[in-house]
A = this chain, B = another copy of it.
Amino acid sequence: MHRIIRLADLEAMKTGKSNKKSTLSTEQKIKEAARKIFHEKGFAATRTRDIAEEAGINLALLNYYFRSKEKLFGVIMFETLDAFLRTLIPVINDGTMTLEEKVEFLSSAYIDQLIVEPQIVLFIMSEIKNRREDSMLNSRIKALLSDSVILEQYRQAVSEGKFPDLNFWHFMINVIGLTIFPFMGASTLKHIGGLTDDDFVSLMQERKRLIPVWVRAMFAPA
C-alpha cells in the first residue's frame, strides 16, 4: 500500500507557500538535484539514485515527496517549460512593441537566458518529442500563437509590403532558430571550432546585436 502523499504540499510548493521550513528545503533539494540531472541526461538516462545522491538525501525520500520518478519529472518539466516560456508569452500579444522590437527583445533575452543554461533547449526538444508532455506545451503555445498580436503584426507588415509574402512560420523558425540553435550544438561547436567557453559566450553576445540586423535583411521587401 502507498504511504499517504501530501499532494497539498505539492500545490503549496508551486505557489511558494509552505507551513514547514524543513519540508520545503528537502523538497527543494530534491527538485534542484532532479532538475540538474534530468536537464543533463534526460528522463531515460537518469536514475533516481543519482538524484538522491546529488541531493544528499535517502532514496526513499524521493518517492515520499514525489511518489514516482515519472511524477517528479512531470514537476520539473512543467517548471522548465514555464520558466522557458515566461519570457515569450507577454511579448507575443504585446501591442505596444513593433515586430522589430520584439525580435530584438526576444533574441537578446533568450541568449542571456541560454548562456546560463545552454542545455535546456536540447532537453525540452528531446523530451517533448515522444512523450505526451507536448500537450502541455502545445495547448499553451498553440492557443498563444493562433490569433496572436505578433501574427497579426506579421500579416500587416506583409500586406503593407514591408515584408515579402512568406509564410509566417518561416519568420518564426528563423528568429527562433538563429537564437537558440547554436546552444543546441554548443559543446560540439566548441570542440570543432576550437572555441573556449569565453569565445562561445562572446559569439553569442555578438548575436544579440546581429540577429535583429539579419532578420531585417532577410525579410526586407523584394
Residues of chain A touching chain B, judged by Cβ–Cβ distance below 8 Å, are 40-45, 119, 122, 125-126, 128-130, 134, 137-138, 141-142, 145-146, 166-167, 169-170, 173-174, 176-178, 180-182, 184-185, 187-189, 191-195, 203, 206-207, 210, 214, 217-218, 220
**Which residues of B have CB within 8 Å of A42?**
42, 44-45, 126
Question: Provided the pairs A177-B181, A187-B134, A210-B166 are in contact, do residues A192 and B141 lie with their beta carbons within 8 angstroms?
Answer: yes
- Inter-chain contact B44/A188, CB cutoff 8 Å: no
Question: Provided the pairs A167-B206, A218-B217 are in contact, do residues A182 and B173 lie with their beta carbons within 8 angstroms?
Answer: yes
**Which residues of B have CB within 8 Å of A207?**
170
- Inter-chain contact A125/B185, CB cutoff 8 Å: yes
- Inter-chain contact B181/A169, CB cutoff 8 Å: no
Query: What is the interface of chain A mostly: helix, strand, loop, or mixed?
Result: helix
Closest to A142 in B: B192
Pairs across A and B, CB under 8 Å, 11 listed: A43-B45, A45-B45, A45-B130, A129-B187, A137-B188, A138-B188, A138-B192, A166-B210, A169-B193, A177-B178, A214-B218
- Inter-chain contact A203/B128, CB cutoff 8 Å: no
**Which residues of B have CB within 8 Å of A214?**
174, 218
Question: Provided the pairs A170-B206, A203-B169, A210-B166 are in contact, do residues A191 and B142 lie with their beta carbons within 8 angstroms?
Answer: yes
**Measured between alpha carbons, how far is A195 from B173 in the docked complex, in Å?**
14
Chain B CB count within 10 A is highest, among A41, A167, A176, A220, for A167
**Measured between alpha carbons, how far is A170 from B169 in the docked complex, in Å?**
22
